[in-house]
Amino acid sequence: MGQSSGYNSTSVLQLITIVSCLVVLSCSGSVSAYKNYTVGGSLGWFDALEKPDVNYQKWADSKNFSLGDFLIFNTDNNHSVIQTYNFTTYKFCDYDDALQNDTIEWSATDPSSTAPHPISVAVPLLKEGMNYFFSSDYDGEQCNNGQHFKINVTHGQGLPKSLDPSDDAPAPNSPDYRGDDSAPETIVPANFNHPIEEESDKDEASGSGSVYFNTKFYGFLIFLQIVCIFFKL
């Protein structure tokens, strides 16, 4: 009887190990959902003359961006949102000579406005590789005063159907990683979806699902370990 009990407990332990490995492997291979990133967090999208604490590059360096994610720029109509794939345009904070297929003005400014009003600009990430953002207002003054950053966009899950130009069109081309001056063709769907409401860049929001799963999973493992102890006894 003692030998039979030992055999059973050993078998249960082996089963727990196999199941645990399979579950962990399946979870580690899962792909995270598309996310919305609020640029600058609570500081919004402003230059250092207005918000001295802004450091958009530091903010961007702490994130992982993929195709299909959205950048949310909370700003006002005295600050613009320019996206470019051309490093030279970004470097000089000036898009006057930019090509139509490498630079997008997502939000125009109104420097003459004496009563600025808040605006929120949603920008989808449609191309892999280097993406550059800046405000070109006041002849690049805002850009030169900290209102700029660059990010590297990875493939991730790829573009969702709502952001594909068409079902027949190929996915956007990736810029050449070896040259910052590359300017791939820019394809912006006319009817792209706005950001999904349920995802954000907040740690508590993005991690809530995984925390819930981990709690349940480890609770299950503890239960199985108790069963093993019982068998040993």
Residue 29 lies in a domain: no
Which H or E run includes 36? strand 36-38
pLDDT at 119: 93
Work out the percent of the chain whose per-residue pLDDT is above 70.
55
pLDDT at 104: 93
- Average pLDDT rounded to a whole number, residues 73-94: 94
Query: In whole angstroms, what is the distance from residue 193 CA to residue 164 CA?
Result: 10
Within 85-218, strands assigned E span 103-107, 118-124, 129-134, 148-154
Higher-pLDDT residue of 202 and 66 is: 66
Contacts of 23 (CB under 8 A, 6+ apart): 217
pLDDT at 112: 64
Residue 86 lies in a domain: yes
Domain that holds residue 57: 36-154
Residue 215 lies in a domain: no
Residue type for 224, please? L
Confidence tier at 116 by pLDDT (50, 70, 90): confident
Residue 45 lies in a domain: yes
Output phi, psi for 24, to 5 deg: -65, -45
Residue 65 lies in a domain: yes
Of the listed ranges 50-54, 71-75, 198-202, the least confidently predicted one is 198-202
User: Using alpha carbons only, what angle is made at residue 108 by residues 88 and 55, rounded to the nearest 5 degrees?
Assistant: 60
- Residue 150 above 70 pLDDT? yes
Structure tokens at 101: 């297929």
Q: Is residue 212 packed enough to be buried (19+ CB in 10 Å), middle (13-18) or exposed (0-12)?
A: exposed
Residue type for 86, please? N
Confidence tier at 63 by pLDDT (50, 70, 90): very high
Angle between helices 208-232 and 2-28 (to 10 degrees): 170
Residue 44 lies in a domain: yes
Residue 101 lies in a domain: yes
Query: In whole angstroms, what is the distance from residue 146 CA to residue 114 CA?
Result: 23
- Residue 141 above 80 pLDDT? yes
- Residue 131 above 90 pLDDT? yes
- Count: domains in the chain: 1
pLDDT at 66: 97
Residue 186 lies in a domain: no
Confidence tier at 60 by pLDDT (50, 70, 90): very high
pTM comes to 0.65
**What is the average pLDDT score of the chain?**
74
CATH at residue 131: 2.60.40.420
